[in-house]
Amino acid sequence: MRRSPSSFVLLTTSLAFARPLAGQAPRDITEGGAAFLLVAVGARAAGLGQATTADGGTPEAAFWNPAGLARLPESEFALHHASTFASANTVLSGYVTSPILGVVGLAAYLVDYGSQDVVPGPGQAPSGRISPRNVELLASYAAPLNGTVSLGVSYKLIQLRNDCSGDCGPFRSITGTTHGVDAGLQWGRPQADGLLVGLALRHAGFDLQLENASQADPLPTRLAVGASYRRGLPRAPGPGPAFARMLLALENPCCHRLAPDLRLGTELGYGDLRLRAGYALLRSQSSGPSLGAGVKFGRLVVDFARIFFSGGNLDEPVYLSLRVIL
């Protein structure tokens, strides 16, 4: 993919790969290294205002609270795509369910900032090309402990890459790799009316090192707690249920006393149709409302969402998810 003009790609690359000297600047405890991990994954979650700590039953749960994978009723393959102001984000995932062993699966997440020519000076021909990308690979397992409690964990390999072809000057090829885990639990009865509560530790792991240990950045570790309340509605025609849900999630940088991010979501289900809306109150320009919808065609589920930023001049991201029930 090639993205036009170079200003944002070069800025993103500079921020990602040019670290300040030790002691030159304080670490940002609200983001840390690998800040791309904080970008919303999945159209369902985006449409719900990202208030999905107490949500589950789809492959997206691996990125929000792996305990929600235990509520996956059948094996699924999923493709998620998001077009943001900075990148094209793609996730491929597959999860297998077993009534005895639980749920196990893999996911691969690519954030592609596009390729950009490197021009040494005005009027000169390009000398090389840079391709900054972020990668996350997940291996997840989740299982119910009983009828109401489920647990889940994900191992994550996280990588920041800046690949260069030709002479890229200061933007040389460089790769930083680290490892992390997500863990969570949920309490409540799946697909039943009433309250569901979730707790998740996200992006816990080793510092991300690109140059040397003194310049390593911590991962953006988050502790999240959430709840959802579901209420059945008069029966809809066809096999799908009719219901309404309200969701809430609070998320804070782990081990720091800061005002937590607040996320709110609502969902209305009628037969095979889902309508969603939410609002994310974040300490960033990414705050704002969201709208989404989903529809099921046999064993194919299509979800769509858009986030509307309340401030700044950033292009607003669009999300599309395709799920195949196996």
Q: What is the mean pLDDT of the chain?
A: 85
Q: Which of 71-75, 137-141, 171-175, 271-275 has the highest mean pLDDT?
A: 137-141
Q: How many other C-beta atoms lie within 10 A of the C-beta of residue 303?
A: 26
pLDDT at 10 over 60: no
Cβ within 8 Å of residue 224, ≥6 positions away: 53, 64, 65, 198, 199, 200, 201, 202, 249, 250, 251, 252
Cβ within 8 Å of residue 78, ≥6 positions away: 58, 59, 60, 91, 92, 93, 94, 321, 322, 323, 324
Taking only the tens place, the pLDDT of each residue in 92-129 is 999 999 988 999 999 999 999 988 888 878 888 888 88
Q: Which has the higher per-residue pLDDT, 321 or 285?
A: 321
Confidence at residue 25, expressed as pLDDT on a 0 to 100 scale = 28
Confidence of residue 236 (pLDDT cuts 50, 70, 90): low
Determine the 3-state secondary structure of 13 from DSSP.
helix
Cβ within 8 Å of residue 230, ≥6 positions away: 192, 193, 194, 196, 243, 244, 245
Q: Which has the higher per-residue pLDDT, 90 or 22?
A: 90
Confidence at residue 23, expressed as pLDDT on a 0 to 100 scale = 26
Confidence at residue 281, expressed as pLDDT on a 0 to 100 scale = 92
pTM equals: 0.86
155, 136 Cβ separation under 8 angstroms: no
Confidence at residue 32, expressed as pLDDT on a 0 to 100 scale = 52
Q: How many other C-beta atoms lie within 10 A of the C-beta of residue 61?
A: 32
Convert 210-230 to b/e letters by CB count within 10 Å (16 or more is b). beeeebbbbbbbbbbbbbbbb
Confidence at residue 7, expressed as pLDDT on a 0 to 100 scale = 36
